Structure 1
Amino acid sequence: MKTFNSWLRAFAALLLVSGAAGCKVEFPDNAAYTCAVEADCGGDGYLCTALPNGGPKYCCFPEPDEKCNGVDDDCDGAVDELEAACFSGAANLRNVGACRDGQSVCTREGTVACVGDVLPAGERCNSVDDDCDGQVDEDFDRMTDPFNCGTCGTACTAQQNCVEGQCQKRTELDCGNGIDDNRDGPADCADRDDCDNQACGAGCTCQNGKKTETGCGNGVDDDDDRSIDCADRDDCDDQSCGAGCVCDQGRKAESLCTPDSADEDGDGQLNCNDTDCERKECGPGLACSVPSGQTPSACVEGACGNGDDDDENGQTDCLDSACNGQSCGMGCTCLALAKTESDCTDRINNDGDEFTDCADPDCGNKYCVAGETNAVCVTAANRCAEQNCRDGVDNDGDTLTDCADTVDCPNNVACTRVVGGNRVAGVCRAGSCT
């Protein structure tokens, strides 16, 4: 490659001076040839290249790669500039997480160094994979870390703990030991800020500042109020008193009524023979029938809208007398061995008789607007009718209110009008309250 080195630079300077004087100089083969354009270099891959920092141009034959040798090897006008990216860490960490490549550079000693690369560092809580292991902030539990509570950098005060990612005031350590653990005045359940809904012992939970029985079948007065289990009605009504048992109005009641279950409430009556089991499930699609004062009880049709003869007595769903008064599906009730519409507000033919809501004879005088007690079905007229002509409300949803609903509120029906800010009784006449 022809290029300038230190002694050639002096020779080139002489060449320039001689040219100015009109002298002709013959160049040796290893001399640097000056040029103005590429054509001056005679082809063969030579480039007309300027010395660094805008020096004179010379003919240069480029090599594939720049080397650390003080020479412009690739003939781009720059000496010892390396373009290769580099990484001085372990190869498997390259470009993982925060790790990034640097730039290869030549040193004064002619060796190659890597500068600017980002190597693994100790993991910090900053939503960055600092140690380049493919995980972010893995050394920090933001659910419990008081210095990074919930989010990185969110620090709790000395009076707070990090609980489920939230800074919370340090609380009573034990809500049933009789000690004011956090020395804030109230102890145990009386410390409502700390102990509400927390355990105050086995079968005991703090609620509304006091002990509450939650073990309603263990035979122990867990809250020390002298009432045990189901007898503690304030706490145990409607709560479980054990497997297949629920507290009902201060007593144990059977809730598991299948044939393979036991006498869970201990009253000497099993399953469908226990009055507690009336209409409770006693098998798939079956329910207990416990007629008052009659025996024996039986496990009868319980699912009255599934199309199956669940009790295998030859009668299915509403055709089975056991289903009388029971639901046969959404908005449907079994009555007189037939399906009947029971929801006349939902615009659905619930009983499958091709009549819907007020068009169904089953809906006579039943409510026809959900949540509205002043609108009932008039099935003879197949419509929903306003029943209150004094409340200023469109009860039947036909956009007409009170006397303006002339069909439901005809002449001489009592109404209410406002006079001078006062409500005054009147009667409907020609669509108005007068």
Structure 2
Amino acid sequence: MRMRIPACALAVAALCAPSCTFKPDVDSGRFTCALDEDCGSGYRCVAQADGSARSLCFKTGEITLEACDGKDDDKNGVTDDAVILVGQACESGLKGECSHGLWRCEAGQLKCNAPAPASETCNAKDDDCDGVTDNGFDLQTSESHCGTCGHACQGGAECQAGACVELVCGDGLDNDTDGSTDCADASCADPPCGTGCQCQGLAKVEIACEDGADNDANGATDCGDAQCLGKSCGEFGRICAAQACACPGGEAGGEVSCADGLDNDCDGKTDCEDERCAGLSCNSGDAAKNCGKDPSNQAACVAREVTCSGAVDEDRDGNTDCADPDCLGLACNAADESRNCGMNAQSEPACVAREASCFGGQDEDKDGQSDCSDSDCLGLDCLADGSKNCGLDGANAEACVDKESDCLDGADSDRDGATDCEDPNCLNGACDSADASKVCRLDAVSEPVCVAPEGACSNAIDDDGDGITDCGDPDCDGQPCEEAAPEKTCVRNGQTLAICVGPETLCSNGLDDDNDSAIDCDDPHCLGRSCDAADSTMNCGMEAPSTAACLPRETACDSGLDEDGDGRTDCADEDCDGLTCRLGEVCSAGECPPT
């Protein structure tokens, strides 16, 4: 069979004849070549990249740069094989790992070959191309990726705030791999380090102080461990003290407070539930309450005993009347206000006479209070000179204060609980600013009243309207009481009975001649009168500020002294009548004549 030569090959042959030697390619019908010169003018020799190890002649105008267009633009025998951009980086317009790729030519078209979205893994990349790196992985709390991807916390540790934190602090392991073990790890600042053990201050601390075990392994057990000091070691509030388990309130002493909600004596009973609290204060804000029993006979904080006579146990604390500590200092005899609960000579609770002396520091009724501290003394004198009485000071505390002096101001100036005429200090004091004649008095039933003093003491009329007439009215004491016998005066016989009698004149017969309950020299009427029928040199006087006696008469009448204590000196004493008062002069008519 004869080979056909393409027309183009003949044309090439014509151009290069007779110097060219053409070798036609059987498959392509083109001339093969080794150099451009082998192809003739206007042709180039192009090496084929199809693996045939040949080169063929092509017109120079047909040869161009390879483009991605499904053609063999550079005539090397391979279509779209050497496109300039292919293999270079490109941007896909997507996010994350899908945002960059390489150019490639597919089916005659240039494409950016970027990765497709994939499942997100923890690798610091945006695998699913949603614009968020490692979304779905919490590096702050993930046990497998704590702080960084791939950093896993070991058993006994937990991921907190991006760091592995030791949780098991008593296993002897460095669970968070930070170089510190158990309580020595700052992560174990408070967690338990085993049974009865707790990490504190980077060390093990015993917290179970009643189990007989050395929980912190320091060689000391329970209260013998200094770390147990002050910690619970037994029932009912017992704590470790002095290396022993003890009751902080002292078991032997009983409940130290019955109002604090605590079991002070560790007997399992609190406040009023404890029998030892019976009768004791149970409310720090209300002194009127103590421990007793309620109407259902259950222990409770109830009102204190206030009625201290009649043998009724009002607060049900097992004590009645003066046997109840609540009654100390309170009235105990409904028929006798002068008695209150105190202590008898045997120091036993009893109904005794109230405090009467309110200075000197003596607790006469043994109720635990003396002088103004004793409520019995309210309004009574607290100084021997009678200038002050018991009342309340500016701080509302019992004190010795100035007596009430203004009896018409409506104020309790000495704060003894009595105002104006109600205050005994105001007796005989002015009480009406509009009527200067009115003074404080006691009426027929000893009630204080503000009245004008009785003016006439012999008319059987209650002139001042205080319910008392003539000598029965204290206003009439010492006043004339019988018009026909002006020498007679009202005299109080004892404390209440008043009589109208003449003055005592016979002062040596041992009789109460004027019926005023005072005999001889004890009767003020006898002052200066003869007191010894057998001795005219003796008369009634005072041998002490308040002791009447039968004394020698005055004999020195120029000494200025009241020798016989009758209240008169020198010539003013009738004993001196006719006696020398100055050289050459004698007393006369109560005077020493002038020289």
User: TM-score, structure 2 length as denominator?
Assistant: 0.25
User: TM-score, structure 1 length as denominator?
Assistant: 0.31
* Higher RCO (C-alpha 8 Å, min separation 6): 1
Instruction: Return the index of the structure with the highest Cα Rg.
Output: 2
